[in-house]
Chains A and B, each alone.
Chain A
Amino acid sequence: MGGPARLVIEHPAPNAASARAVCQTVEALLHDLEARYSRYRENSLISQINRLAGTGTLTPVDEETLALLEFCGRLWEQSHGLFDPTAGILRQVWDFSSGQQGDVSKLSDLLPKVDWSKVLQSEQGVGLRDVGMELDLGGIVKEYGADKAAQSLRDHGFNHALIELAGDVVAVGSKTSGAPWHVGISDPEAPSKTLLTIELTNCALATSGSYQRFIEINGQRYSHFLNPHSGWPVEGAASVSVISDSCLTAGAVATVGCLHSGADATTWLEEAGLPWLNIGPAGECSGPLAPQSSSR
């Protein structure tokens, strides 16, 4: 899922074998999610749906996939289309790995294919209406995977654990001592450094950000978040962190926060009402989680 994973379980010594077993269970369920939903895997469910785009053929999907798509639809509505799982094809113009601007003239061809309302869903399955459309659930699957891993731990009786998937964190209960888990939020300017530490018990912290992937055009830094309406990168936050009871919700709110520019991001995050931290392009912090004074 494009990043390191870490799992910490606190348990009595006699349960070591069970803990090792549940680690394997968690690893297996994350591999399963990647196998089904990665757009990089040819045999994934998502790749199959994408290959059949424009053919009118629907790909049968399971209830979990339908529920994930339902969540995407709800977020698309709530974000007024800013969150759009069909926007992945815009990367054909913007190459974040090289940091170079692509051929923006292609946008006029691509933008009509970026439209969640053209994702066909029925009891028979899921399909994409137009040729060239692509579905990408990368914006939510990692967060969902963290929640699913947490639930698996609880199901197996481990109620004191921490799961971290590439910066998204779920705290299962507290530490066995009753103390909360301490989770750091990275400094976008220096990702190896911790900007601040948050105490979590039985909830999730998700961070969306551009500090690891950005593009500079005429000296202006753009985030890797692409506005699905304009096709251009967003001049948004360096990173947005959100706390919620599920990592999926926290990640969704944080991602849409990054898709907004300036004051619109603040409006969105305040409307969500969850604890949040917005680190702007120049490193300025805002939001309920922001340090009251900083010495960066």
Chain B
Amino acid sequence: MAVISSGQNSGHSASTIKQSPLVRTLGAAVAALPAYHNTYADAPPEFTEVGLRYSHYSEDNLSTDNFIAGARGRYDIDVTQLWIEAPIGSSWSIAVDVQNDSMSGASPWFVGTQIDGQPGVIMSGASIYDNRVEVGATTRYFWADGNAGFNVTHSKEDDYEALALAFDVAWNSSDNSRTWSASASTSNDRVEPVNGNIPVFIDREDIDTASVYFGVSQILSSTAIVRIGLGYTYSEGYLSDPYKLFDARPDEHSRTALSGGYRKFFPEAQGALQIDYRYYSDDWGTDSHTAEVAWHQNFERFALTPYLRYYSQREADFFSVIADLDEEFYADDFRLSSYGAFTVGLRSSIQIGEWQVEGQLERYESDNDWGLYDGEAAPALVNFWRATIGISWRFD
């Protein structure tokens, strides 16, 4: 028997093996064999999955420095989601998703001037309560080189109703190293604002939206993948916010977004680096950058993913801190202002047999000074917490 003493006898793995010219020459022939086509034919999920997720979203109260009147307490939203996804035969799957949002709190009504001359927010009076129920169904067909899905979603709340149809398709290259994806969707939204704490001035309006997306992802190596996508969305109809006193927006809105991402798995660390970027631009003069970096760390039965996201946008052409009613279009909505925002969060999941429990906690803070673009500071910029917990069960 031997004494095992060679330093090179430990830790051999695919990632530590060098590729000499000779091995690369052989490898080109190896790669043509079916056993080494290491991405797989598209197939429906092998299991039925049932899941329940609860999320709580809580905006910080408006700062007293920026507050003039109304209620300082801003939105709290409880989101409950139930879904089921199941294979049907060998080529189809179906998924049904039901979501309930319960919302309470006050929202900015308009921006005025405080005694010291600084802008301040007049909030809606007492708390608003609303409930939204959304039901979506998706059916998907799988074939050897791709899959295609069709989705119908209906959403209803007291003052808003929406119906959306979406179609998406993804197909793989013959060597399975590249995946193209495309989607198209259309929706019709109906706004019927209700008079409550604040007056509204419309009875019923419609919004029609259509969007398309095309993307491609490319496997760079056994541990790296990159993707890029381009999307375009067009809306027309009543695009102003009926619950804001001074809000008159164009009745058309074109948006374009270019996004990209890179994933790199590090086998020794059992972790993956995720980098994503998105550029957005619209015909209201707004454009924005979103960058996110995350580290996905696998452990034996659970995973942790800390992430950091940065967002910066340029204000819309018709935005001003205090709405300029002399213009054709005007708005004082902080969501149309120039600002920057950071989100820091942690996602986790743990596998217990056929059960998976997941949790997520994130903090979002925004500030005019953090943005890349010039523009006056909107006093109603929001900060919030969001916490999510979910459980899902897979069975044959």
Query: Which A positions have Cβ atoms within 8 angstroms of B?
Result: 12-14, 63-64, 67-68, 70-71, 73-75, 78, 144, 147-148, 150-151, 154-155, 157, 176-178, 180, 187, 193-203, 205, 243-246, 248-249, 252-253, 271-275, 288-296
In the complex, which of the residues B10, B28, B30, B35 has the most CB atoms of chain A within 10 Å of its own CB atom?
A: B35
Does B89 touch A at the CB level, under 8 Å?
no
**Chain B residues packing against A (C-beta within 8 Å):** 1-15, 17-20, 22-23, 25-30, 32-38, 40, 46, 267, 270, 300, 353-354
Given A248-B33, A272-B20, A291-B6, 17 more pairs with CB closer than 8 A: A13-B353, A64-B33, A64-B34, A73-B29, A74-B26, A78-B26, A147-B35, A147-B36, A194-B2, A200-B12, A273-B23, A274-B20, A289-B9, A292-B5, A294-B2, A294-B3, A296-B2
Q: Which residues from chain A contact B46 at a C-beta distance below 8 Å? A: 157
On chain A, the residues within 8 Å of B1 by CB distance are 187, 193-195, 295-296
Closest to B13 in A: A201
Which B residues are CB-close (under 8 A) to A14? 353-354
In angstroms, Cα B15 to Cα A73, docked, is: 27
Tell me how far the C-beta of A101 lies from the nearest C-beta in chain B, rounded to whole angstroms. Answer: 33
- Inter-chain CA distance A291–B38, complex, in Å, is 34
Are A289 and B6 in contact, with the CB atoms below 8 A?
yes
- List the B side residues contacting A291 at CB < 8 Å: 2-6, 9
Q: Which residues of A contact B22 (CB under 8 A)?
A: 78, 253, 271-273
Q: Is the CB of B2 within 8 A of A176?
A: no
Known: A178-B270, A178-B300, A296-B2. A199 touches B12 (CB 8 A): yes
**Smallest distance from the beta carbon of A276 to chain B beta carbons, Å?**
10
CB distance from B212 to the nearest CB of A (A): 33
* Cβ-closest chain A residue relative to B351: A12
Residue of B nearest to A285 (CB): B2
Q: How far is the CA of A180 from the CA of B8 in the complex (A)?
A: 14
- What are the 7 closest A-B residue pairs judged by CB atoms, nearest first? A273-B20, A148-B35, A201-B13, A71-B29, A245-B14, A292-B5, A74-B29
Give the nearest-CB partner of B299 in chain A.
Answer: A178
Q: Report the Cα distance A248→B5, complex, angstroms.
A: 27
User: Which chain B residues border A248 with CB–CB below 8 Å?
Assistant: 30, 33, 35
Q: Is the CB of B17 within 8 A of A243?
A: yes
- Cβ contact within 8 Å between B36 and A246: yes
- Note all chain A residues with C-beta closer than 8 A to B27: 246, 249
Determine whether the beta carbon of B26 is less than 8 Å from that of A71: yes
Closest chain B CB from A27 CB (angstroms):
16
Quick check: B29 and A155 within 8 Å, CB to CB? no
Residues of A within 8 A of B7 (CB): 292
Residues of chain B within 8 A (CB-CB) of A201 are: 11-14, 267
B9 touches A197 (CB 8 A): yes
How far apart sit A70 and B30, CA to CA, in the bound complex (Å)?
9
22 A–B contact pairs at CB < 8 A? Answer: A13-B353, A67-B33, A70-B32, A78-B25, A150-B35, A151-B38, A177-B300, A178-B300, A180-B10, A180-B12, A196-B2, A202-B15, A202-B267, A253-B22, A253-B26, A273-B18, A273-B20, A274-B20, A274-B23, A275-B8, A295-B1, A296-B1
Contact between A271 and B33 (Cβ–Cβ < 8 Å)?
no
Residue numbers in A under 8 Å from B10 (CB-CB): 180, 199
Pair B23/A244 contact, Cβ less than 8 Å: yes
Give the shortest distance, in Å, between B336 (CB) and chain A (any CB): 47
Given contacts A71-B30, A74-B26, A272-B20, contact A198 B2 (CB under 8 A): no
- Chain A residues with CB under 8 A of B40: 155
Bound Cα distance A194, B3 (Å): 11
Alpha-carbon distance between A148 and B23 when the two chains are bound, in angstroms:
19
